Structure 1
Amino acid sequence: MTTTPGFWDIGPHDPIDVEATWQGFVRSVSGQVIEDLVPHPRTFENADFLFPSVPAVAELKEIKTEFEKSDAFVKGYLSLVQRLVDEDPDWGRRIWAGEGDYPNWFSGEVIRLFRPPISRVLKKANRQIKETKEYFNIVDSTGVLIFVNDGFTALEPHLVRALACSLLANSYSSIDCFLYITVNRYVEVHGGDVPKLLWLPTFSDRVSASMSEFINDLGRRWYEFLEKKIGQFTVPTEEIKAGPVLSRAIVLPDEKR
């Protein structure tokens, strides 16, 4: 939790249902919810939303899991710690005594441990977007992954975003826009003095200017919609940008482990 005076005067809004909120939002901006269009049973793995005017297909993924608690991550992390000890048997004592620091390779290797779970999210979303575009005969590069990260706080948002984009650079070609947002998780943005919710799109080089304009406009309309729903501040529209944003999730006192 930040110690900046006055940073958190009113506290976060009560948690809202992300999927239901997005369904309501999409309907309000003349988008379509796939389950409204194609009833069960469906013959394809569907994405969540269709924006006919673009046309764009969007899949919503809400990340609630703290990936670092998985058995695979713990095993990998312990292996890295063992490597530290093997390289420097006195490492642990010096760290606890404040006399040393982690070697340069360590943080990069820790971040690599998060690649498999994030890759699984991207892989499934890519398949859903691809099959939905095929069903509706959409050939343009207009697949959007709405990556809602309200639960995964072990990595800072800009690192999660960078890791996902590095995976998307050479794989999962049905995802043309990676949209990183938060809904119930506020963040502290470097250089800012108020908590914020994020809307951070990253586009592949396949995306047209009209598509990027559509996503940026959608962000403004999303904040207007959310503002009415939660009844308090979110993020000024001028904060919507695709450039680097250094931030960290705000972990509330009752969430600290």
Structure 2
Amino acid sequence: MAEIPDFWDVGPHDKLHVEETWTEFVTTVGGKRIADLLSKSPDFDNADYLFEEVSTILELKEIETEFLQTKAANSGLENLLKRLVKEEPEWRPSLFGGDGKYPVWFRTEFVRLARPAIVRILKKANRQIRETKEYFKFSKPHGTLILVNDGFTSIAPDLVHALACDALIHSYSSIDCFLYMTINRYVEISGSDEPKLIWNPSYSDRVNDQLVHFIDDLGRKWFVFLEQKIGSFTSRIETEDRSILSRSKAIVLPGEARS
């Protein structure tokens, strides 16, 4: 990014507080903060935002940590390496003269190490959305989970998204739209030399066209809002090509640790 001096050293903008930024955005585009509509001590764990025009309730979740640095994940990785040595005795890392290429099964199982942490997020969000739906008694409410991944860089964005979508297929029926995005974490996309921020929605078959159009339009408004806060940071791409995140990777700035 020659147009942005020192981009690769410090990043394109100061870190934004995710919840504060989303709350400001929602209130500027006609949404409401649900906490403002409830008593100070509601008897349930409510979701975050409401757009009455499309009867959709939104819950915001943020990933700030590296899931694969937990004790459980490290134990799982150790078991995978033992299996690798047993099933692929000729395998060597490049440091020791091998080609360093892992078998397909290893990569698949490695990605699955992050599944429990992601499922915990989905489970809690589903409950919050369900109970908030029940409270407002909409006839046909939709639930949207906004998952902001600014911290988990060990696995490529498309694989994190795929893990969540796979879990959502058969469970968590209160989540009708899964919006995967980044705010402070830029992503390298195959075929582009510009760092990108992500707005990537996926939908259940329960969703109507009204919600799809609403989320798409909300995304356009989001990037206008973001540019007003931090300036023009990169060109925009809007596409229906679901493979655009294939082979993408999170950009880890100098000084940051990646597990």
| Pairwise same-fold verdict (TM > 0.5) | yes
Could you list the per-position Cα deviations for residues 3-57 of structure 1 after superposition, in whole angstroms to 9, with x for gaps in the alignment?
A: xx74864522100111001000000011000111113201111000000100100
In the alignment, the residues of structure 2 paired with residue 168 and residue 186 of structure 1 have an alpha-carbon distance, to the nearest angstrom, of: 25
How high is the sequence identity, in percent, across the aligned residues?
A: 53
Aligned-partner Cα distance in 2 for 1:31–1:242:
29
Matched to 1:68, the amino acid is L
The letter for the 2-side match of 1:210 is: Q
Asked if structure 1 preserves the Cα contact closer than 8 Å seen for 2:55 and 2:141, the reply is: no
Q: Is the 8 A contact 1:8 1:195 kept in 2?
A: no
Q: Give the residue type in structure 2 aligned to 1:78.
A: E
Distance 2:172 2:130 in 1: 9
The alignment of Structure 1 onto Structure 2 pairs a total of residues equal to 252
The letter for the 1-side match of 2:57 is: V
SS in 1 for 2:202: strand
Secondary structure of 1:160's aligned partner: helix
Secondary structure of 1:147's counterpart equals strand
Q: Which residue of 2 aligns with 1:147?
A: 147
The 1:10–1:209 alpha-carbon spacing in structure 2 relative to 1, beyond 3 Å, is farther
Distance 2:191 2:3 in 1: 12
Name the counterpart of 2:253.
252
Give the gaps of 5 or more residues in structure 2: none
Tell me: CA distance 1:235–1:93, structure 2 relative to 1, closer, same or farther (3 Å). closer
Contact (CA 8 Å) 1:57, 1:133: kept in 2 or not?
A: yes
Instruction: Please report how far the alpha carbon of residue 111 of structure 1 lies from its aligned counterpart in structure 2 after TM superposition.
Output: 1.0
Conserved? CA contact 1:85–1:92, under 8 Å:
no
How many angstroms apart in 2 are the aligned matches of 1:228 and 1:13? 12
2:194 touches 2:234 (CA, 8 Å); kept in 1? no
Q: Secondary structure at the match of 2:255?
A: helix
How far residue 241 of structure 1 moved from its aligned partner, in angstroms, is 4.1
In structure 2, the partner of 1:29 is 29
Q: Whole-Å Cα distance in 1 between the matches of residues 146 and 26 of structure 2?
A: 12
Q: SS at 2:140's partner residue?
A: coil
**CA distance, structure 1, for counterparts of residue 235 and residue 127 of structure 2:** 32
1:185-226 deviation digits (Å, cap 9, x = unpaired): 011111112111100000111100111000000000011111
Rounded to whole Å, the distance in 1 between the matches of 2:100 and 2:257 is 26
Q: Deviations over 1:83-105 (max 9, x none)?
A: 11122344346773134632221
SS in 2 for 1:50: strand
CA contact (8 A) 1:149 1:182 kept: yes
Distance (Å, rounded) in 2 between the aligned partners of 1:6 and 1:127: 46
Q: How does 1:190-229 map to 2 (within 5 A)?
A: 190-229=190-229
Letter paired with 2:38: V
Quote the residue 1:48 is aligned against.
Answer: 48
Q: Does 1:63 align with 2:63?
A: yes
Residue type of the alignment partner of 1:65: T
Distance 1:75 1:171, change over 3 A: same
Structure 1 distance, partners of 2:69, 2:239, is 32
> For the Cα contact (< 8 Å) 1:186–1:250, is it kept in 2?
yes
State the distance in 2 between where 1:162 and 1:172 align.
15
* SS at structure 1 position matched to 2:74: helix
> Residue 256 of structure 1: CA displacement?
3.6
Which range is displaced more, 34-43 or 115-124?
A: 34-43
Give 4+ residue runs of structure 1 displaced > 3 Å after superposition: 5-10, 92-95
Task: Check conservation: 1:49, 1:58, Cα contact below 8 A.
Answer: yes
TM-score of the superposed pair, with normalisation by structure 2 = 0.91
Residue 123 (structure 1) aligns with:
123
Q: Which sits farther off after the overlay, 20-29 or 132-141?
A: 132-141
Contact between 1:58 and 1:146, CA under 8 Å: does it hold in 2? Answer: yes
Specify the SS of the correspondent of 2:40.
coil
**Change in CA separation of 1:85 and 1:34 when aligned onto 2, cut-off 3 Å:** same
Please, which moves more after superposition, 139-148 or 154-163? 139-148
Deviations 1:215-247 (A, max 9, x none): 0000000111111011232552x4254622222
Q: TM-score, normalised by structure 1?
A: 0.92
| Cα distance in 2, alignment partners of residues 88 and 7 from structure 1 | 47
> Could you tell me whether the CA contact under 8 Å between 1:133 and 1:139 is conserved in 2?
no
